[in-house]
């Protein structure tokens, strides 16, 4: 009993350290509760501490951090502490979510996890550059099954912005999404 409690305590300390290390980007009180619910302190980086609701711990997560622009508790990302938005690539040629809102000027880290057996890419930036797969547009590539990779960018224009996967044939199959600048 005592040993088990000690282990749990050590896990919480470890989890807290990781949360601080990640910049504690999410406001509100759901972060600690979410971690206590999942207890996956040895899981892959990026799978916890993103501030989703406690009921949605683990791999079943879809969508973004809890509070978006205009929501109560929303905290805009900064270069020092980007807002983390989780995106699922796949299964199939899909992104979830496929529409994302950001605040004007904020810095966002997209943590992209590939679901299913396909290897994906994630490019994000001005819509025309993303559509044309323009070199120099922020992106991560070679995101293998159940891997998570991240890319950080600042939305300092008025948009429109978009994101897409340019692995062969994926964009043409519809693997893209839109980002709306709010404010
Ligand atoms: Cu893809």
Reply yes or no on whether the pLDDT at 40 is more than 80.
Answer: no
Question: Which of these, 62, 50, 144, 53, lies nearest to 100 by C-alpha position?
Answer: 62
Using the mean position of ligand 1's atoms as its centre, give its distance from the Cα of residue 169 in Å.
8
Mean pLDDT throughout 8-31?
Answer: 38
Q: How far is the CA of 89 from the centre of ligand 1 (A)?
A: 7
Distance between Cα 15 and ligand 1 center (Å): 31
pLDDT, mean of residues 111-118: 96
111 C-alpha to ligand 1 centroid (Å):
15
Q: Residue length, the chain?
A: 183
Does the structure show a pLDDT above 90 at 124?
A: yes
Ligand 1 centre to CA of 115 (Å) is 10
Instruction: Compute, in angstroms, the gap from residue 64 CA to the centroid of ligand 1.
Output: 19
CA of 163 to the centre of ligand 1 (A): 11
Q: What angle do CA 54, 25, 23 make, to 5 degrees?
A: 115
- Reported as a single tens digit per residue, the pLDDT across 66-102 is 689 989 999 999 999 999 999 999 999 999 999 999 9
Burial class (CB in 10 A: 0-12, 13-18, 19+), 112: buried
Q: Which residues contact 116 (CB under 8 A, 6 or more apart)?
A: 90, 91, 92, 145
Q: Where are the domains of the chain?
A: 1-58, 62-183
In this predicted structure, the answer to whether residue 55 has a pLDDT above a threshold of 60 is no
Ligand 1 centroid – CA 16 distance (Å): 33
Given this model, what pLDDT does residue 65 score? 56
166 C-alpha to ligand 1 centroid (Å)? 6
Distance 172 CA to ligand 1 centre (A): 10
pTM for the full predicted model: 0.66
Tell the CATH superfamily of the 62-183 domain. Cupredoxins -  blue copper proteins (2.60.40.420)
What does the alpha-carbon distance between residue 96 and residue 75 come to, in Å, rounded to a whole number?
22
Q: What is the mean pLDDT of residues 54-60?
A: 38
- How many other CB atoms are found less than 10 A from the CB of residue 59? 12
Q: Residue 49: left (phi > 0), alpha (psi -120 to 50), or beta?
A: left
Percent of the chain scoring above 70 in pLDDT: 64
């Amino acid at each position: 009993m005592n040993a088990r409690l000690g282990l749990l305590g050590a896990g919480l300390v470890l989890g807290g350290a990781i949360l601080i290390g990640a910049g504690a980007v999410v406001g509100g009180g759901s972060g600690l509760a979410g971690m206590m619910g999942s207890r996956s302190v040895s899981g892959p980086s990026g799978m916890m501490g993103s501030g989703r609701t406690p009921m949605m711990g683990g791999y079943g997560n879809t969508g973004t951090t809890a509070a978006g622009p205009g929501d109560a508790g929303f905290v805009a990302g900064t270069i020092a502490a980007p807002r983390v938005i989780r995106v699922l690539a796949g299964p199939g040629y899909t992104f979830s979510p496929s529409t994302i809102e950001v605040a004007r000027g904020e810095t966002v880290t997209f943590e992209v996890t590939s679901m299913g057996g396909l290897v994906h890419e994630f490019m994000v930036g001005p819509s025309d550059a993303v559509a044309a797969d323009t070199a120099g547009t922020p992106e991560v590539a070679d995101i293998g099954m159940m891997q998570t990779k991240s890319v950080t960018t600042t939305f300092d224009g008025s948009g429109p912005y978009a994101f897409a996967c340019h692995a062969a044939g994926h964009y043409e199959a519809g693997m893209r999404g839109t980002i709306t600048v709010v404010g």
